Amino acid sequence: MLKFTKDHEWLEIDGDVATVGITAYAAEQLGDLVFVQLPEIGTTLDKGQEVAVVESVKTASDVYAPLAGEVVEINEAVVNDPSIVNSDPEKTGWFFKLKLADLGSLDGLMDEAAYKELIG
Amino acid sequence: MSVEAKTSPNSLRQTPLHALHLDLGARMAPFAGYDMPLNYPAGVLAEHRHTRTAAGLFDISHMGQILLRPKDGVLTDAARALERLVPADILGLAQGRQRYTFFTNDTGGILDDLMVANCGAYYLLVVNAACKENDESLLRDSFSQNFDVEPCDRALIALQGPKAESALAHLAPDCAGMRFMDVRELSIMGKLCVVTRSGYTGEDGFEISIPSDVAREIAEGLLENPDVAPVGLAARDTLRLEAGLCLYGADIDAGTTPVTAGLTWAIQPIRRHGGERVGEFPGAPIILDELERGPAIHRVGLAPEGRMPVRAGTPLFVEEANEAPVGHVTSGGFGPSLGRPIAMGYVPTALSAPGTKLFAEVRGKRLPATVTPLPFVQHHYKR
């Protein structure tokens, strides 16, 4: 199940684990990324907490936890080569996997059609 | 994550190449009151590398071009008048040559940095976009009725990179005979342009002042060459940072002196103590005294450890914990040619020697950063 946030993150939800990344729209708006900082495995996050940093040539941007949960896996490939986030943001350019604290909290997320409407 | 909207307000000014930028698919952004191309579809990293390996074409028409013309045709009078505003040797600037200088204030600070070209009958001044109105007022207020101060609305483009000469020579063969900081009037596609062999990337290249009605035609004529690609302001910034060149408003401003900024090479001996035309520019006592005693702080290059960019405003420390900052970063980011972060900033002179270990505090963490010589990437001027 694919979901989106208004903060331009995508979540691929499989059981109680969500794979999280930034959307193609966000990656395009940021331009060429040169730095990605990911959380440590085992980090417990509240919804909305700053969890990662992406830096383009021009600016640094925070990535917020889309839901509460625990980080169970991170994608070292995007740390080593941030350009993957530009070339394949919604597949191999994922950031981290989150074991969700509360599956009921999915209701606040957008589906793809709603997100596409948001970005126009 | 928050993402900026891509629309630009209507109140922004447009350069004569604005429509070309849109046709080329540029991502536009406001800069100094103009709607300017930040990058093209190739992206800032590709545009940067293209400039270092082939030739990049930049629209810099937002910059101010001011003609300074003596009404009686005697250029030396204009030179003497200009020397009351800048610490460079203008009188000794030969016809067909250009020189970097700065307008100073009474406290020795820098009001703007600029290029002055001796075009024979007049001086052509190229000044920063954000300062051009102030510069023009300064010139009008300082100069007598004997001079015309004419802001000109010509387009200005820069062609930069190792293939800039061959690309321009297709259209104007005489450009190949120019060396760094030469200025010539050349006919390009039948139009008379003012060409200087200079730039803001550390590469060999040219800046070309073009009548605005033919700017697009000439830009497109250059872009027809497969070696030439359009480059936006984002890559212009990474290129100049790698070249260790100052950005006005970031690395230098009204509160920094040319001496602390390491720009003393632009103050020729004739304007210093012991020189024939010593001082007589604003802030001269402060600047010349600092030049002799040595500055308390100095602009340096910084190489942050790791991959995290260290940006303007970042405080610098001697120790990993506690104590007050000793300096700050004025420009910083990622150096695409180096594949790592680079920065420039001000530190006390005692901490300015290459190899000095400092710490830069980013998001609450202190990262090691080593003072390094400037430029980060060697200049390739044709001297």
CB contact under 8 A, B308 and A55: yes
- A102 min Cα distance to partner chain B (Å): 22
User: Residue A96's closest CA among A113, A110, A116, A76?
Assistant: A76
Q: Which domain holds residue B383?
A: 296-383
Tell me the average pLDDT of chain B.
96
Asked if B221 and B302 sit in the same domain, the reply is: no
In-domain check, residue B215: yes
Residue ranges of alpha helices (H) inside chain B are: 18-23, 44-53, 75-82, 132-142, 164-171, 215-223, 233-242, 284-293
Phi, psi of B336 (to 5 degrees): -60, -35
Find chain A residues with C-beta within 8 A of B365's C-beta: none
Question: Average pLDDT, stretch B215-238?
Answer: 98
CB contact under 8 A, A7 and B307: no
CB contact under 8 A, A26 and B334: no
Asked if B225 and B301 sit in the same domain, the reply is: no
Find chain B residues with C-beta within 8 A of A29's C-beta: 3-4, 6
Domain end residue (candidates: B242, B266, B285) = B242
Asked if B43 and B167 sit in the same domain, the reply is: yes
Q: What 3-state class would DSSP assign to B41?
A: coil
Asked if B315 and B379 sit in the same domain, the reply is: yes
Residue-wise DSSP of A20-89: EEE-HHHHHHH-SEEEEE-PPTT-EE-TT-EEEEEEESS-EEEEE-SSSEEEEEE-HHHHH-THHHHHST
Asked if B177 and B50 sit in the same domain, the reply is: yes
Asked if B41 and B171 sit in the same domain, the reply is: yes
Orientation angle between helical segments B44-53 and B233-242, nearest 10 degrees: 50
CB contact under 8 A, B43 and A31: yes
The pLDDT value recorded for residue B7 is 54
Find chain B residues with C-beta within 8 A of A55's C-beta: 308-309, 334
Domains annotated for chain A, with CATH where assigned, are 2-103 (2.40.50.100)
Residues 6+ apart with CB under 8 A from A109: A3, A4, A5, A11, A66, A67
Give the model confidence (pLDDT) of B87-119 as tens digits. 999 999 999 999 999 999 999 999 999 999 999
Give the model confidence (pLDDT) of A31-46 as tens digits. 999 999 999 999 999 9
Tokens 């447009």 sit at which residue? B14
What is the chain B residue with the closest CA to A65? B1
Asked if B177 and B37 sit in the same domain, the reply is: yes
Q: Above 60 in pLDDT, residue B5?
A: no
Asked if B209 and B345 sit in the same domain, the reply is: no
**Cα angle B329, B333, B337; round to 5:** 130
Q: Write the CA distances from A78 to A9, A34, A69, integer angstroms.
A: 15, 10, 21
Asked if B56 and B186 sit in the same domain, the reply is: yes
Residues of chain B whose beta carbon is less than 8 angstroms from a beta carbon of chain A are: 1-4, 6, 27, 38-39, 43-45, 234, 238, 307-309, 311, 333-334, 336, 341, 363
The CATH number of residue B40's host domain is: 3.30.1360.120
Asked if B214 and B347 sit in the same domain, the reply is: no
Q: Above 60 in pLDDT, residue B6?
A: no
In-domain check, residue B43: yes
The CATH number of residue B301's host domain is: 2.40.30.110
Find chain B residues with C-beta within 8 A of A62's C-beta: 1
In-domain check, residue B372: yes
Question: Confidence class of residue A103 from pLDDT cuts 50, 70 and 90?
Answer: confident
Question: Average pLDDT, stretch B74-79?
Answer: 93
The pLDDT value recorded for residue A105 is 84
